[in-house]
Structure 1
């Protein structure tokens, strides 16, 4: 089997190079390997059909978590019928968990899934996330700070380097010392980003113009002091 994050989030946000996922699909099909997409981070954050919908690639299995429970402890996986029929009670593979089917978590998950299907939900999420990333990049450029950012749906990545990274090697070239200064300075302004230069960030439906403007105001204040 081949297990992959279709969009990397565990080394900051790194989107796949053109053709990468389609080649994986072709090779797995050719050699009879199971292609598994880990969409724990991307699931319902980048779009209603997750990353596989954006890139039009159908994996054999998909893992989901976190967001589908609306913050409650919940996860799920699913995929091809012939594989799923291997699970008990239809098949010999037993799968269970302490919180499997927890009614409170499932209720929260169903409410979340109804919310993300509201017309215009993802259009608003994309616009809000772009306002954040483009605003931060503009503020950094204004004061001569080496910085770039990108987003996909509600996921975003912040990088203290000249160009958006396309690999783990390039992510490791980001200036971690400057990121740490930025993180702590923003924290003092009441803005809490992920505390690592190697974590993707997420905008949620709860974030609006007020929160984004407050974030951009704080970032510009910090960048101007660094000039």
Structure 2
């Protein structure tokens, strides 16, 4: 199997660094050949060799109603026939901004950009411009894209590859990035007190997804809100993963805590390359051309991405039962996986928030931060991952990534996944 994928990977490595255009795709942490995909529909992926897989990656989150969702495809076709880009204002940008404001608490204004990374970079710049301060607090294991300010103790690909920071990030940039421990308010208090009056923003994934799915402890997010208010610091929620997924209004709605700024990624464009940042009017009004914090992009608000995203988000807004159905499916999968793991005596922690979940193969009682996430048995995960792939289940190729479920998953898909997990755990136990 994977014969065509192997040949394509060999070709790709001659012309593309590592043969991939994003590091996690290289399968470096799990070994083997990356699967080259050809098409998808609903929750079924088909690779270039014709093998089908049940998908739990969903293009890393945005395919919340499944791949090739018909209203999205039709919106893209209709828009493309008029032109793929103008570099000028269009009505669909206005409609999208209005819709996001209706769906998300605390978003008075929003600016479209071209990726989640760009959204987070821009939000940090705006926070610095608004406060006149330089330093930013982030959390160990949280990943906010590959901007220089964020590649300090980052998660996801950097964590998977054993590179928590990156060459090319200057000492000057690094000194302005302070790192706290996720789910640890005391570590944040110490930094705010030590650098009193110097911190512009605190940025975090309100539900961590780049060191595996790790929910906030009770009181953690509200505690951050109180600290930011007390120290005049801008609170930024990176909702590239959680936005419009863990609830219609994202983590802000689910946990009842409103950030000052929020960032989004590809779900804003139903999987097309896009991002956005938004928040309180007084902060957003420092962005040019209203204010003097410069941010620009020729393809920002691209009509294809806006049309696709509007079709997807409109469906979620008009039919909020999607969220109930998704959570029911995720809970059912979580229960099935727990039963299998307990039956085989495998130590584990399973974290789930909405339609995100992760299984950590660890002896820890709970996984709450970067340190406990790193106790997961990576060798066991590697064996488990490859057997699941062999059994037609497409998981993220890293023990430090969350699964994303789509509402296109059926009861049969869930049953097959749990059966595949049962067999895969047996194989992993025999091989590790």
* TM-score normalized by the length of structure 1: 0.95
Cα drift, residue 44 of structure 1 = 1.0
Q: 2:238 is matched with which residue?
A: 38
Q: 1:14 is matched with which residue?
A: 214
Q: Which moved more, 1:88-97 or 1:175-184?
A: 88-97
Instruction: Please show how residues 139-218 of structure 1 align to structure 2 within 5 Å.
Output: 139-162=340-363, 163-218=365-420
Cα drift, residue 106 of structure 1 = 0.2
**Residues 119 and 32 of structure 1, relative CA distance in 2, 3 Å threshold:** closer
Cα drift, residue 22 of structure 1 = 1.0
Report SS of the residue matched to 2:226: helix
Cα drift, residue 9 of structure 1 = 0.8
Are the equivalent residues in 1 in contact too, given 2:356–2:403 (CA < 8 A)? yes
Q: Which runs of 4+ in 1 moved over 4 A?
A: none
**Structure with the larger RCO, 1 or 2 (CA within 8 Å, 6+ apart):** 2
Provide the rounded CA distance (Å) in 2 between the counterparts of 1:97 and 1:179: 40
Provide the rounded CA distance (Å) in 2 between the counterparts of 1:67 and 1:130: 22
Cα drift, residue 99 of structure 1 = 2.3
Provide the rounded CA distance (Å) in 1 between the counterparts of 2:398 and 2:420: 19
Provide the rounded CA distance (Å) in 2 between the counterparts of 1:193 and 1:208: 17
Q: Deviations over 1:3-31 (max 9, x none)?
A: 11111111101111111111111111111
Cα RMSD of the aligned pairs, angstroms, is 1.4
Tell me which structure has the larger Cα radius of gyration.
2
How many residue pairs get aligned? The number is: 227
Report SS of the residue matched to 1:58: coil
Are the equivalent residues in 2 in contact too, given 1:134–1:149 (CA < 8 A)? no
Q: Which runs of 5+ in 2 are unaligned?
A: 1-200
* TM-score normalized by the length of structure 2: 0.51
Provide the rounded CA distance (Å) in 2 between the counterparts of 1:207 and 1:68: 21
Q: Which runs of 5+ in 1 are unaligned?
A: none
Q: Deviations over 1:124-165 (max 9, x none)?
A: 010111111111111111122222322111111111124330
Cα drift, residue 123 of structure 1 = 0.3
Instruction: Please show how residues 53-202 of structure 1 align to structure 2 within 5 Å.
Output: 53-117=253-317, 118-162=319-363, 163-202=365-404
Provide the rounded CA distance (Å) in 1 between the counterparts of 2:416 and 2:217: 33
Provide the rounded CA distance (Å) in 2 between the counterparts of 1:207 and 1:72: 21
Are the equivalent residues in 1 in contact too, given 2:248–2:320 (CA < 8 A)? no
Provide the rounded CA distance (Å) in 2 between the counterparts of 1:57 and 1:38: 13
**Residues 4 and 107 of structure 1, relative CA distance in 2, 3 Å threshold:** same
Are the equivalent residues in 2 in contact too, given 1:47–1:122 (CA < 8 A)? yes
